[in-house]
Structure 1
Amino acid sequence: MKKTFIFLSLISSVYFYSQDFSSINKILEKIEAKGKKMKDATNYDLKGKKFVLVEDFEDHGERHILEFNIDGSLTMIELIDDKSTGKSFSNIFTGDYIRKKNAISVRANFLEGKQIAIPLVYNLYLMNANDVWYLKDINNSKRWIENNNLIKKKK
């Protein structure tokens, strides 16, 4: 009797878990379908490109400029504008990056030529919307817009 009960419970649990797996597969298929709509950026060259992130806070404003150099390194300039005093401060970070298709991992481990203990690390995803290239931070969804798209061309 015990063996029959265990066997039936095992069969019923497999049946109910298989229903959960089918719903998970449906969700994964939807995610893959959305992923296929994203533009593949393997042919987009980052070397020589600049991306800008602008943030505004109550007491200060921040502008971050991320430049991918031709030699494979990167430079990140952080400009901080203090609203109460009107003064501006800047930090210049240098480092390197790794790119795999649309995913880019950025590590800035030097502050004005001196190595820092905890480097700045960003995990970014290269995206395109309406022919505007931008980097989306995976951790906090902030967007770094390509500098060429910020400059309005005069006709």
Structure 2
Amino acid sequence: MKKMVLLATFVLSVFHYSQNYAGLNDLLEKIERKNKKLKDASDYSIANKKFVLMEDFEDHSERHILEFGADNKITLIELIDDKSTGQSFSNIFSGDYIRKRNAISVRANYLEGKQIATPIIYSLYLMNANDIWYLKDINNSKRWIENNNLIKKNK
């Protein structure tokens, strides 16, 4: 009797989870369709390009400038403007990056020439919308827009 109850419970749970699996499968298909529309950026060179991220907080504002070198080196400039005092602070990080198609992994492990204990790491995805290239942070969805596009907008 116990075996029959366990078997029935197992069969019902498999049936229940298979319904959820069908929903997950549909969701994955939607994601695949969306990703197929994304442009492959393998031809696009990020060497000697700058990308900018701007953030505004209540007490300060931050500008991050990420410059990619031709030899897989990066320079990350962090500019912090304190709103209460009007002072500006900057940090200059350096490190390297690895790129595989649209995915870019950035590691900044030097602060003004001195190695730091905990490096700054970004996992970015290179994207294009309306001929504007930008990097999207995979972890928090922040967007780094290419510097040339900022200059075009200001003119």
In the superposition, the TM-score normalised over structure 1's length comes to 0.90
Unmatched 5+ stretches in structure 2:
none
For the structure 1 residues 118 and 4, does the alpha-carbon distance in structure 2 shift closer, same or farther, using more than 3 Å as the test?
A: closer
Distance in 2 between the 1:73 and 1:86 partners? 32
For the structure 1 residues 58 and 12, does the alpha-carbon distance in structure 2 shift closer, same or farther, using more than 3 Å as the test?
A: closer
Displacement after TM superposition at 1:2 (Å) = 4.2
Give CA deviations for 1:41-98 in whole Å, capped at 9, x if unaligned. Answer: 1111111110001112222221110000112100001111222332222111000111
For the structure 1 residues 14 and 80, does the alpha-carbon distance in structure 2 shift closer, same or farther, using more than 3 Å as the test?
A: closer
Structure 2 equivalent of residue 77 of structure 1: 77
Structure 2 counterpart of 1:125, one-letter code: Y
Structure 1 counterpart of 2:117, one-letter code: A
Distance in 2 between the 1:24 and 1:9 partners? 22
Structure 2 equivalent of residue 105 of structure 1: 105
Displacement after TM superposition at 1:139 (Å) = 1.5
Structure 2 equivalent of residue 125 of structure 1: 125
Aligned positions, number = 155
Paired-residue identity, %: 71
Displacement after TM superposition at 1:39 (Å) = 1.2
Displacement after TM superposition at 1:100 (Å) = 1.5
Displacement after TM superposition at 1:16 (Å) = 2.3
Partner SS state of residue 152, structure 1: helix
Structure 2 equivalent of residue 7 of structure 1: 7
Distance in 2 between the 1:148 and 1:26 partners? 39
Structure 2 equivalent of residue 96 of structure 1: 96
Distance in 2 between the 1:82 and 1:14 partners? 58
Structure 1 equivalent of residue 47 of structure 2: 47
Displacement after TM superposition at 1:13 (Å) = 2.8
Displacement after TM superposition at 1:23 (Å) = 1.4
Unmatched 5+ stretches in structure 1:
none
Displacement after TM superposition at 1:154 (Å) = 9.7
Partner SS state of residue 20, structure 1: helix
For the structure 1 residues 86 and 65, does the alpha-carbon distance in structure 2 shift closer, same or farther, using more than 3 Å as the test?
A: same
Distance in 1 between the 2:62 and 2:130 partners? 26
Displacement after TM superposition at 1:3 (Å) = 4.0
Distance in 1 between the 2:21 and 2:153 partners? 52
1:65 maps to 2:57: no
| Structure 1 segment 133-152 matched on structure 2, within 5 A | 133-152=133-152
Structure 1 equivalent of residue 21 of structure 2: 21
